[in-house]
C-alpha cells in the first residue's frame, strides 16, 4: 500500500490521502472497540443481584464487621496483629476504611441502581426486584448505623446533582428511613403486577414470600433496638412485625458460599489466622454441656475444645468451628432463632411471662436444631424447658445463638447482657460503643464528618 500512497503524495494528493485513510478506518475498525466487555453499560438485574447479595454477606456478617464485634463480645479472641489490638479496644479510621467504602460502593450504590432499573425500565417494571433491593438496603443501613451512628444517606448517591460531599443524616432519621424502606418493600411484594421475576437470587431463589418475611423480621429487629427510646411501644411494634416474619429455620436470611467462593471467615483463617475462640464463650458452653460447642469450636492440637484467655495471645487455643468457618458455611444475616428471641424479650418486658417462656424455648430449640442438625430433646429438657425465664437468661442464650452475627454487640449495648469483663491491657475503661468513620470519608468529606470517639454513645443508646 505504501507505493500507492507515495504516488498520490507525488501528485499532490495529500488531502485525498486523509480522506482515503479515514474512510478506510471506518470500514475496518469496529465501532465498539472502546467498549469494555467486562464492564457492560447495562447489566441485567439477574446479574446484579448475586454480586450485591454476596457483598452483603462478606462485609456485614462474613468478615469485616462481625469479626471485630465478635472479638469485643469475647466470642473470638484476637491473638496477634490487628485482631490483638482490636481486642484491646483499639480501632482506627484506617481499620474500617474498607468496610466503609464497601457499604457505599458495593451495596448501597448497586442496590440503588437495581431499584432504579426495577422501577424505571419501561415495559420491564418489577416491584419484586425493587422490594429485594429495598430489603437489602434497609438491612445494610440498620446494621451500619448500629455501629457508625449518623451516616450520609439522603444526600448520598447524588453525584449527578453535583452533591460530592454529602451531609450526614442523624441516626434517628436513618432509623425512620429504614422503617419506611421496609414498609415500601412489603408493599412491593404485595403488588400483583410484576413483569420481571427475581433472578440470580442466591439467598431465597426468587421467593417473594420469603423476602417478605425477611422484611418483617428485619423490621422487628430494629423496632426492638429502640426500646431505650420508645419503651413498651418498641416491644409491641417488634411483636407486630415478628408475627409476619420467619416461620421456621427454612426462612433464615443467609448468604451461601461454595467451593469457588469460600466463606469469608474460612478465608481469613487461611490467610491471617489471628483469631481464636475466646475462653469466656467456650467456657460458658462447656459449663452447660451445650451441644452447639462442637460446631462452633474446632478441637485444638490436643483434641480439646479450648478458648484463649482474653489477652493471653494463645495461638494454641481452638479455632472457629465449621458452623462459623467452614469453607461453604453460609453467612447469617438474620435467623428464625433471633426472631423468636425478639419475641421472648418483648413478651417478657410486657409482662406476658407465659408467652415469653414459650418463645424463649422455641428460640433455643431452633438454634440448636439449626447448628447441630439434631433436635437434642434431652439436652433441651434438662437445661432449657421449664427453666423460669428472665431477661438475662433470654439475652445470654441469644448471645450464644447469634454468634457469627452483629446482634450480640447490638444487644449488649442496649441491655448490658451478658456481662463482659474488661480485657487486660485495654486502652479504654469500657467496651467501645461505636466504630470510627472510615479514613476516606474523613479525608474527602471531612467538613461533614461528625467529631466522635469510639466511646461515644449512639442516639438509641442515650
How would you label 98-111 residue by residue, b for 16+ Cβ within 10 Å and e otherwise? ebbebbbebbbebb
Strands (E), 230-327: 253-255, 275-277
Specify the CATH number for the domain of residue 404: 1.25.40.390
**Could you give the CA distance from residue 4 to residue 382 in angstroms, rounded to a whole number?**
97
Q: How many CA atoms lie within 13 A of 317 on its CB side?
A: 28
Instruction: Give domain status of residue 385, yes or no.
Output: yes
Instruction: Give domain status of residue 140, yes or no.
Output: yes
What's the total number of domains in the chain? 1
pLDDT value at position 440?
95
**Could you give the CA distance from residue 69 to residue 49 in angstroms, rounded to a whole number?**
27
| Domain around 195 | 46-261+330-419
Instruction: Give domain status of residue 250, yes or no.
Output: yes
Q: How many CA atoms lie within 13 A of 118 on its CB side?
A: 28
Q: Helix, strand or coil for residue 457? A: coil
Instruction: Give domain status of residue 293, yes or no.
Output: no
- The per-residue pLDDT for range 118-128, each reduced to its tens digit, is 999 888 889 99
Instruction: Give domain status of residue 363, yes or no.
Output: yes
| Closest to 254 (Cα-Cα) out of 214, 305, 199 | 214
- Report residue 429 as a C-alpha cell: 475503661
8 A C-beta contact, residue 196 and residue 118:
yes
- The per-residue pLDDT for range 336-368, each reduced to its tens digit, is 999 999 999 999 999 999 999 999 999 999 999
Whether pTM > 0.85 for this model: the answer is: yes
Strands (E), 189-302: 253-255, 275-277
H or E stretch at 44: none
Residue percentage of the chain with pLDDT more than 90: 84
pLDDT band at 188 (very low <50, low <70, confident <90, very high): very high
**Could you give the CA distance from residue 452 to residue 446 in angstroms, rounded to a whole number?**
12
How high does pLDDT run on average in the chain?
91
**Could you give the CA distance from residue 30 to residue 131 in angstroms, rounded to a whole number?**
40
| Closest to 87 (Cα-Cα) out of 322, 398, 307, 330 | 307
Residue 382 Cα distances to 287, 367, 386, 387, 397, angstroms? 13, 16, 9, 9, 15
| Closest to 172 (Cα-Cα) out of 187, 186, 153 | 153
Instruction: Give domain status of residue 82, yes or no.
Output: yes
Instruction: Give domain status of residue 280, yes or no.
Output: no
Q: What is the mean pLDDT of residues 452-461?
A: 97
**What count of other Cβ atoms lies within 10 Å of the Cβ of residue 368?**
24
Chain-centroid distance of CA 17 in Å reads 62
| Closest to 399 (Cα-Cα) out of 415, 378, 381 | 415
8 A C-beta contact, residue 452 and residue 436:
yes
Q: Helix, strand or coil for residue 64? A: helix
| Closest to 170 (Cα-Cα) out of 204, 145, 206 | 145
**Could you give the CA distance from residue 16 to residue 142 in angstroms, rounded to a whole number?**
66
**303 CB contacts (<8 Å, ≥6 apart)?**
none
pLDDT value at position 35?
53
Residue 79 has pLDDT above 60, yes or no: yes
Residue 348 Cα distances to 18, 270, 352, 402, angstroms? 85, 43, 6, 19
**How many residues can be counted in the chain?**
462
Instruction: Give domain status of residue 433, yes or no.
Output: no
- The per-residue pLDDT for range 282-338, each reduced to its tens digit, is 999 999 999 999 999 999 999 999 999 998 999 999 999 999 999 999 999 999 999
Q: Average the pLDDT over each of 13-27, 178-192, 271-285 and give the range with the smallest value.
A: 13-27
- The per-residue pLDDT for range 21-49, each reduced to its tens digit, is 333 444 444 545 455 555 555 788 999 99
pLDDT value at position 37?
57
pLDDT value at position 164?
77
**Could you give the CA distance from residue 400 to residue 366 in angstroms, rounded to a whole number?**
12
pLDDT value at position 323?
96
- Which of the two residues, 64 and 307, has the higher pLDDT score? 307
pLDDT band at 60 (very low <50, low <70, confident <90, very high): confident
- The per-residue pLDDT for range 395-441, each reduced to its tens digit, is 999 999 999 999 999 999 999 999 999 999 999 999 999 999 999 99
Amino acid at each position: 500500500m505504501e507505493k500507492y500512497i507515495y504516488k498520490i503524495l507525488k501528485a499532490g494528493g495529500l488531502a485525498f490521502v486523509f480522506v482515503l485513510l479515514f474512510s478506510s478506518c471506518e470500514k475496518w475498525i469496529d465501532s465498539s472497540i472502546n467498549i469494555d466487555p467486562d464492564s457492560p453499560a447495562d447489566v441485567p438485574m439477574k446479574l446484579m443481584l448475586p454480586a450485591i447479595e454476596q457483598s452483603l454477606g462478606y462485609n456485614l456478617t462474613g468478615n469485616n464487621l462481625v469479626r471485630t464485634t465478635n472479638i469485643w463480645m469475647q466470642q473470638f479472641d484476637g491473638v496477634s496483629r490487628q485482631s490483638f489490638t482490636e481486642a484491646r479496644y483499639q480501632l482506627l479510621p484506617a481499620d474500617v476504611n474498607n468496610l466503609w467504602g464497601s457499604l457505599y460502593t458495593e451495596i448501597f450504590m448497586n442496590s440503588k441502581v437495581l431499584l432504579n432499573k426495577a422501577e424505571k425500565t419501561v415495559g420491564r417494571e418489577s416491584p419484586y426486584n425493587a422490594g429485594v433491593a429495598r430489603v437489602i438496603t434497609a438491612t445494610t443501613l440498620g446494621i451500619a448505623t448500629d455501629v457508625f451512628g449518623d451516616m450520609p444517606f439522603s444526600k448520598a448517591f447524588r453525584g449527578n446533582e453535583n452533591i460530592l460531599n454529602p451531609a450526614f443524616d442523624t441516626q434517628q432519621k436513618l432509623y425512620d428511613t429504614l422503617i419506611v424502606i421496609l414498609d415500601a418493600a412489603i408493599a412491593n411484594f404485595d403488588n400483583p403486577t410484576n413483569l420481571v421475576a427475581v433472578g440470580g437470587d442466591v439467598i431465597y431463589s426468587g421467593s417473594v414470600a420469603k423476602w417478605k418475611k425477611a422484611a418483617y423480621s428485619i423490621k422487628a429487629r430494629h423496632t426492638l433496638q429502640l426500646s431505650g427510646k420508645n419503651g413498651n411501644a418498641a416491644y409491641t411494634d417488634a411483636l407486630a412485625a415478628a408475627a409476619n416474619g420467619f416461620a421456621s429455620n427454612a426462612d433464615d436470611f443467609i448468604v451461601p458460599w461454595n467451593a469457588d467462593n469460600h466463606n469469608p471467615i474460612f478465608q481469613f483463617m487461611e490467610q491471617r489466622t489471628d483469631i481464636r475462640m475466646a475462653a469466656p464463650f467456650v467456657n460458658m458452653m462447656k459449663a452447660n454441656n451445650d451441644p452447639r460447642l462442637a460446631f462452633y469450636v474446632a478441637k485444638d492440637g490436643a483434641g480439646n475444645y479450648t478458648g484463649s484467655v482474653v489477652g493471653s495471645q494463645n495461638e494454641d487455643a481452638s479455632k472457629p468451628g465449621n458452623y462459623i468457618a467452614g469453607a461453604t458455611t453460609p453467612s447469617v444475616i438474620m435467623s428464625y432463632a433471633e426472631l423468636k428471641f425478639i419475641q421472648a424479650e418483648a413478651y417478657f418486658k410486657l409482662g406476658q411471662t407465659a408467652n415469653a417462656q414459650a418463645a424463649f424455648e422455641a428460640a433455643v430449640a431452633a438454634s440448636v436444631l439449626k447448628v447441630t442438625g439434631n433436635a437434642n430433646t434431652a439436652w433441651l429438657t434438662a437445661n432449657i424447658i421449664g427453666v423460669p425465664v428472665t431477661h438475662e437468661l433470654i439475652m445470654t442464650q441469644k448471645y450464644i445463638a447469634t454468634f457469627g452475627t452483629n446482634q450480640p454487640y447490638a444487644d449488649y449495648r442496649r441491655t448490658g447482657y451478658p456481662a463482659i469483663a474488661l480485657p487486660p491491657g485495654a486502652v479504654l475503661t469500657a467496651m467501645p460503643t461505636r466504630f470510627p468513620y472510615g479514613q476516606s470519608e474523613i479525608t474527602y468529606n471531612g467538613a461533614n464528618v461528625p467529631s466522635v470517639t469510639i466511646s461515644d454513645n449512639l442516639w438509641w443508646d442515650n
